[in-house]
Amino acid sequence: MKLVLGLGKTGFSIARFISVQNIDYKIADSRTNPPLLSKYTNEFLKSSPTLGAWTLDLLTGVDEIFISPGIAQNESIVIWAKKQNIPIVSDIELFSRFAKAPIIGITGSNGKSTVTQLLTQMIADAGIQVAMGGNIGTPALDCLNDKIEYYVLELSSYQLDYSHHLNLIAGVVLNITPDHLDRYQSFKHYTNSKLSLHQHCQHLVINLDEPLAPKKANAKHFGISIPEQADDFGTVTCHDTYYLLKGDDILMSINEAQLIGEHNTRNILAALALGDQIKLPITSMIQSIKNFKGLEHRLEWVAKKQNIDYYNDSKATNAISTITAIQALMHKHQNIVLILGGIAKQEDYTLLFKLINKSITNVVLIGQSIQQFEQEINTNTNHAKTMQEAVNIARSMINNGAILLSPGCASFDMFDNFEQRGQEFKEIVKIKY
């Protein structure tokens, strides 16, 4: 008997998959009204989920647990299962058991969605059947298809925590910065979670600019510097412009890419290195880079109206993401109004506040973090209770330059998720201004 823990998108995907495989299971959720309850009961008429606080008898007769990534390792059901030596695995590991095509894994504190989608586009543009999933939106098990030639998976630290036996042809840990520290005992534990991806990869890609990623002699490397090896990827600067390199060969000017910012230069290099590991043609990958517009809610250019560029970076839910967005736009705009705030994470925002105090003249604060952030920001601040009010105030502060929504916080105090936050910002910009 298998036990599926969690009745959200991942748990539902697991239940549907193992039902098709005729695997006997039961499903449980600690919430009394999980988000997909009605959909589940309508589709699985003979299976009644167990809801409410975890109980020890859930483990009776269970030989393996398939777990949703939102369930932390310190929850009672996980602790009880470990004491009884019941294996606990992610949907990613379950997916790996059944996938017939090579799998590429991408993780990191920031940039993993961009790299995942760019690499997927590179593979598709090369005429290869590819599927993308995991943490990026589509559950991995929903991607399984015998026609697929490559799978590209975005992997969160939560998914890696419960993945012990994966078979990845290639993978990368893009970067590691403090995040999700409410979930981990320490930053070291979070770091170890990210780096665990390495043990599952046949071919590694290593970011030379990430000091926490151990260097590997047999890996392919990338970084913002001239490559030391002929097969590595990097850059050279000429007249204030980055040129992408493979070894000594110039591939393109970064100005030809639609993605902006040094962080996106690293994302592009990571995708190139991964694509090179699976022998994608360089010329095809370069054309994919030039055509790639980036992801929604990731430093997404929305519109230019009355000499003001509007950027939606709602995906920025931690300090380093907002720092990265500000630094990217500083090269294009002298005047930036920042919309900041939400539910602050348990991380150090000191570097963000220093950057704001030095480089941003006007900030609009939203959400639960208003009082906390205002104490640390010395520049001009205003408060807004709604996104509409935030955009109105930001617009009144500037005649030319950029308005940047990059909250640096979670969204759940005002919105269902970061997507809703970003979508509301875009609709206000497009309709009103």
Report the catalytic residues.
Answer: 112, 135, 180
Tell how strand 130-134 and strand 168-173 pair up.
unpaired
Strand order in the sheet with 336-341: 300-305, 308-312, 401-405, 336-341, 362-366, 380-384
Backbone φ, ψ for residue 109 (5° rounding): -70, -35
Measured distance CA(215)–CA(415) in Å, rounded: 41
Cα 71 from chain centroid? 18
- What is residue 126's three-state secondary structure? coil
Measured distance CA(227)–CA(247) in Å, rounded: 5
Measured distance CA(42)–CA(276) in Å, rounded: 46
Helical segments of 165-239, H only: 187-195
How many CB atoms are located within 10 Å of the residue 323 CB?
22
* Nearest in space to 347 (alpha carbons), one of 195, 183, 192, 212: 183
N-terminal to C-terminal alpha carbon distance within the chain: 57
Residues 377, 379, 383, 389: is their CA dihedral positive or negative? negative
The count of C-alpha atoms lying within 13 angstroms of the C-alpha of 424, restricted to the half-sphere facing its C-beta, is: 16
Measured distance CA(316)–CA(33) in Å, rounded: 29
Render 233-269 in DSSP notation, one character per residue: EEEEEETTEEEEEETTEEEEEGGGSS--SHHHHHHHH
- Give the tokens for residue 356: 């704001």
- Give the tokens for residue 285: 């990958």
The two most distant CA atoms of the chain are separated, in Å, by 68
